[in-house]
Amino acid sequence: MISEKQLTHLSKFLSLVLRHQPETISIQLDQNGWTDVNELIEKATNYGVKFDKETLKHIVATNSKKRFAFNDTLDKIRASQGHSVDIELGYSNQKPPTILFHGTADKFVQSILDTGLEKRNRQHVHLSSDLETALKVGQRHGKPFIFKVLAEQMYNDNFQFYISDNGVWLTDNVPTKYLIRNDE
């Protein structure tokens, strides 16, 4: 069986090639971000990263953030969100909960208060429906800080929201007027 360390390494590798740089191993993502599983395994092996279909299924099934998804026939795979390459995930606009959360690091709070939440090099701003997830996200970047996002108000003001396969809420940006410091 494969070790946790190897699984983490493979998950990071898959994030790289399925979200940001498919050209690293010369794979193509279709317009919705899907790529052929057999080709992914072959090209990864040629690159020096070896895994089989069973390992890939294990990573998809057990990844705590549910970053990856198979199609119904298990012959294609994609990242659920977080792409910096231009793809259309095919999600439809949905009404979000009244409040969503955004976890960040304390060091970024002032910049966010100045400009709002911006997608920067990604396709969307990522929001959580629960405080715990937002806290975990914020902890990855330093001392965590949580913003409440007035999502329902944004939706009523014609902002679009999508929910990814792994439950992450996505939107294009969050202007400062829809942000509330969670410490207030």
CATH number at residue 74: 1.10.10.970
Containing structural domain, residue 54: 4-79
Gap between the Cα atoms of 33 and 53, Å rounded = 19
| Same domain flag for 43 and 114 | no
What percentage of the chain carries pLDDT values higher than 90?
A: 64
| Same domain flag for 161 and 105 | yes
| Same domain flag for 177 and 105 | yes
Listed range (25-39, 62-76, 106-120) with the worst mean pLDDT: 62-76
In this prediction, residue 123 has a pLDDT band, given cuts at 50, 70 and 90, of confident
Residue 92 in any domain: the answer is: no
In this prediction, residue 1 has a pLDDT band, given cuts at 50, 70 and 90, of low
- Mean pLDDT, residues 146-165: 94
| Same domain flag for 133 and 177 | yes
Total number of domains in the chain: 2
Gap between the Cα atoms of 107 and 141, Å rounded = 9
Residue type, 171: T
Q: Residue 10: CB partners within 8 Å, gap ≥ 6?
A: 2, 49, 51, 55, 59
| Same domain flag for 72 and 107 | no
DSSP 134: H
Q: Residue 119 above 90 pLDDT?
A: no
| Same domain flag for 8 and 50 | yes
